[in-house]
Chains A and B, each alone.
Chain A
Amino acid sequence: MAQLAHYQQALLFGDEQLELYGSIRTSAELDELNFGNACKFITSELAVSQNFGDLTQKNCTAVGKGVLTNGLNGAVQLYLQLVGAVITLTDATQGVPSMAQLIASIATPDFVTLSELLFWWLPAGFSIETNIYFQEQINSLERFVALRCMMLAVFLSALALCVLFMFEPLVYEMDMHVKRVRALLVMIPAEVAMSTASLRKALVSAL
């Protein structure tokens, strides 16, 4: 039970040892589910589908004196408190209560609330919460993939523009230059080129 309480706290508020940041203030949807009105998320149909037994209390706002209207975390805390009370009661009777005591404790409103929370409402709330966690992860991945694709597209476009407007004219110019020099070397005999100062200067500068 202590471990359950610890995980619940760690998932909400973070825990360095468990390497959890905590969901509080990171997701508006999770905050609303955990600390707002959880009944907006949990439908009675979903709660009924969690267990084959008959759910007597189908009104979410009436479960545990409306604990779910204050958030799923409140319902978990109430559940832990009720389980603690059951364990204390069992410990007090050394695990051997009389049948009358047992029936009386099972019939109490607290035990009914405990059963409703355990079998229907908390699993329904947790299934929604798990789905939100999963969706958050999927959405984050989708955003990342979209951003990465956009960056790649921008990079490739910039590369293409650089080649078209910067390097292609440069290569063309260099090609022309090389051809001009080669033509000059073929057409003019080396002795003439070297003996003429201006030609020699042009050739040397081109190299």
Chain B
Amino acid sequence: MIAAKVLFLCAGATAYFALSFKMEYLELTRQYHEMVEQAYVARRNTLLGDVGLSSRDYLMAAFRPTLFRPLNFGFAGGKYLMSLRSKW
């Protein structure tokens, strides 16, 4: 009888912990996907502005030749390294 009561308590506690773990796992998985979703939402919102402004810039580029357009950092660095190499 005592063993049955103790077992009953153990079974109840185990069920509780297992259920709460499963719920937490599902919720964390869901939150993980929602965080990814929010990151892409933010990225898409930025891209909207980028696409609009770069297409307008492209359209007007011919009339603004004096506009300063710096080279991409990696490209400029690579070019500089190549120039140094040719000197050696």
Contacts and interface: CB of A to CB of B under 8 A. Distances in A.
A127 B22 CA distance: 34
Contacts, number: 110
A155 B16 contact: yes
Interface stretch (A16-24, A38-46, A58-66): A16-24
Contacts of B43: 7
A162 B36 CA distance: 44
A interface: dominant SS: helix
B79 interface: no
B interface: dominant SS: helix
Interface of A: 1, 3-4, 7-8, 10-11, 18-21, 23, 79, 83, 86-87, 89-90, 95-97, 99, 102, 105, 114, 118-119, 122-123, 126, 129-130, 133-134, 136-137, 140-141, 144, 147-148, 151, 155, 158-159, 162, 166-167, 170
For the complex of A and B, the 6 pairs showing the least CB-CB separation, nearest first, are: A118-B52, A7-B44, A96-B62, A4-B47, A137-B34, A144-B27
Interface of B: 2, 5, 8-9, 12-13, 16, 19-20, 23-24, 27, 30-31, 33-34, 36-38, 40-45, 47-49, 51-52, 55-56, 58-63
